């Protein structure tokens, strides 16, 4: 269910459940009895708003998950830099989405390709009157707010954390050689403009929504978008020094702190309940609550399927278990189910996630063969699994395959071109890559003048 469609449904439900019983004609009869069976419009408003801000907080927590995952998978000499990038990108995403992004994505799209350029997104008069921050007709404001179904800022908050997720994906792929400030400039453009434009096509009610493209919580709109930006960035930026040998062999550059990477994955898993569960966009009826429970279940089982499948695939293909493959299997399982976590036969979600888990085990070495250096495996886990998840809606969830492909290709083409232009401009102007010597010393020393673990180890840090 797309965001825009479910928003219409939300209104319809509110109208039927709530305002129906508010009909005076009914109220005078025994049908008044039906009233207590339902959820009152104001209670629904509270519950819908609660779902947005609580689930939004869970998605915010994913920013910590990406920070830990990436901290664990880079080498010690680039660890402080990746921490800084992660907290900075989350901050920038929020500010840019407030300044410009939300309006570009959600207002006045109307079947088109972009929303409106307006600065700042604040509560309107209705909401200000409702909360008593503006003088006015309180009853009318309450009625108008209840028709909307939820607090506007709770919706803003929930959508904002999604933007940040897309940006988080990019930082992992490009770690260990991209300069901090140029990366953050890219984040400004991505979160303020690129993400909102393509987001408007589906969740803003644009052309893809009108075609019936189905992406419940963003396999394409969030995860592939981050993945495309990462892929284009990785190609323009080039691989880390010494990663690929001239003879075609590959030097492993193992992550410095695998328990942190494990923690990051668990954080993402927890946050994903907010990501997918909150994308029901309502909690104001029994049906909404039941849907969210189904979404939680599918989200969990798809991740579980991804882990088990990635472990089995590693064991069969490489004859060894591999922790990082299992972690990426979890993420791939989660990304895979994100486009359609509303399956009512949960076995399907295990299968969807398991296929995602196998795909990541195949895609990671494949990208290495293509000399695309993805430090944390984000392109495999977010882009490849995101494409798979979007197609899976057509296979398991009853979506239209052609429309799904159009959505994947349309969003992908836009992101490749647009992020290519932005990366290209940054590359040819201020430059995006640290010098060879800086890369050797590590970004922590050269960009930040500090060490992430000053007392540990005698290895790479001493070079």
* Segment near its own copies (CB under 8 A); pick from 26-34, 193-201, 221-229, 430-438: 26-34
In angstroms, rounded to a whole number, what is the distance separating the alpha carbons of residues 240 and 86? 20
Is 440 a residue that touches its own copies (CB under 8 A)? no
- Interface residue with its own copies among 10, 80, 100, 189 (CB under 8 A) is 80
Is 46 a residue that touches its own copies (CB under 8 A)? yes
Contact assessment for residue 253 and residue 373, using Cβ atoms and an 8 Å cutoff: no
Taken as a whole, the chain contains a residue count of 463
Q: Residue 20: how many CB atoms within 10 A of its CB?
A: 14
Question: Residue 37 or 370: which CB sits closer to its own copies?
Answer: 37
Q: Where are the alpha helices (DSSP H) in 238-322?
A: 258-277, 286-318
Is 214 a residue that touches its own copies (CB under 8 A)? no
Backbone angles phi, psi at 165, to 5 degrees: -60, -45
Q: Which of 161, 189, 115 is nearest to 432 (CA)?
A: 189
Is 86 a residue that touches its own copies (CB under 8 A)? yes
In angstroms, rounded to a whole number, what is the distance separating the alpha carbons of residues 410 and 394? 17
- Interface residue with its own copies among 301, 331, 376, 415 (CB under 8 A) is 301
Contact assessment for residue 102 and residue 154, using Cβ atoms and an 8 Å cutoff: no
Question: Residue 174 or 267: which CB sits closer to its own copies?
Answer: 267
- Judged by CB under 8 A, the chain residues 216 through 275 that form the site for its own copies are 254-260, 262-263, 265-267, 269-270, 273
- Judged by CB under 8 A, the chain residues 326 through 355 that form the site for its own copies are 326-327, 330, 344-347, 350
Question: Residue 39 or 352: which CB sits closer to its own copies?
Answer: 39
* Segment near its own copies (CB under 8 A); pick from 47-55, 362-370, 414-422, 428-436: 47-55
Is 61 a residue that touches its own copies (CB under 8 A)? yes
- Interface residue with its own copies among 102, 106, 121, 244 (CB under 8 A) is 121
Is 392 a residue that touches its own copies (CB under 8 A)? no
- Interface residue with its own copies among 5, 11, 114, 143 (CB under 8 A) is 143
On the 0-12 / 13-18 / 19+ scale of CB atoms within 10 A, 39 is buried
- Judged by CB under 8 A, the chain residues 160 through 199 that form the site for its own copies are 160, 180
Identify any residues that bridge with 178 across adjacent strands, giving them in sequence order.
433
In angstroms, rounded to a whole number, what is the distance separating the alpha carbons of residues 115 and 106? 6
């Amino acid at each position: 269910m797309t965001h825009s469609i479910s928003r219409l449904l939300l209104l319809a439900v509110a109208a039927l459940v709530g305002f129906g019983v508010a009909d005076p004609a009914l109220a005078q009869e025994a049908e008044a009895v039906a009233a207590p069976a339902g959820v009152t419009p104001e209670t629904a408003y509270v519950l819908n708003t609660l779902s947005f801000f609580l689930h939004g907080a869970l998605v915010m927590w994913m920013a910590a998950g990406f920070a830990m995952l990436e901290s664990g998978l880079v080498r010690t000499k680039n660890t402080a830099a990746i921490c800084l990038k992660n907290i900075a990108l989350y901050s920038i995403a929020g500010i840019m989405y407030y300044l410009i992004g939300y309006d570009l994505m959600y207002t006045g799209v109307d079947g088109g390709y972009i929303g409106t350029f307006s600065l700042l997104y604040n509560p309107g008069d209705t909401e200000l009157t409702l909360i008593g921050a503006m003088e006015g007709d309180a009853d009318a404001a309450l009625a108008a707010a209840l028709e909307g179904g939820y607090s506007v800022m709770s919706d803003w908050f929930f959508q904002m954390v999604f933007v940040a997720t897309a940006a988080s994906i990019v930082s992992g792929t490009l770690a260990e050689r991209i300069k901090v400030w140029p990366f953050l400039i890219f984040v400004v453009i991505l979160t303020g403009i690129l993400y909102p434009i393509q987001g408007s096509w589906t969740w803003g009610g644009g052309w893809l929504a009108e075609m019936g493209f189905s992406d419940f919580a963003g396999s394409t709109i969030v995860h592939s978008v981050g993945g495309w930006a990462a892929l284009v960035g990785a190609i323009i930026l080039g691989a880390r020094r010494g990663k690929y040998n001239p003879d075609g062999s590959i030097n492993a550059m193992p992550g410095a702190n695998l328990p942190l990477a494990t923690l990051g994955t668990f954080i993402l898993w927890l946050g994903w309940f907010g990501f997918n569960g909150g994308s029901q966009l309502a909690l104001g009826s029994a049906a909404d609550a039941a849907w969210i429970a189904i979404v939680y279940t599918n989200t969990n089982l798809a991740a579980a399927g991804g882990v088990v499948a990635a472990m089995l695939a590693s064991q069969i293909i490489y004859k060894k278990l591999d922790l990082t493959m299992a972690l990426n299997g979890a993420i791939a399982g989660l990304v895979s189910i994100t486009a359609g976590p509303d399956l009512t036969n949960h076995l399907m979600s295990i299968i969807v996630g398991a296929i995602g888990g196998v795909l990541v085990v195949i895609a990671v070495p494949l990208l290495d063969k293509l000399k695309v250096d993805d430090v944390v495996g984000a392109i495999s886990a977010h882009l490849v699994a995101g494409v798979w998840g979007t197609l899976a809606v057509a296979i398991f969830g009853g979506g239209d395959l052609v429309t799904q492909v159009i959505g994947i290709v349309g969003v992908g083409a836009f992101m490749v071109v647009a992020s290519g232009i932005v990366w290209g401009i940054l590359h040819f102007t201020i430059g995006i890559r640290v010098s060879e010597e800086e890369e050797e010393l590590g970004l922590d020393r050269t960009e930040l003048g500090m060490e992430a673990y000053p007392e540990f180890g005698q290895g790479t840090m001493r070079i």
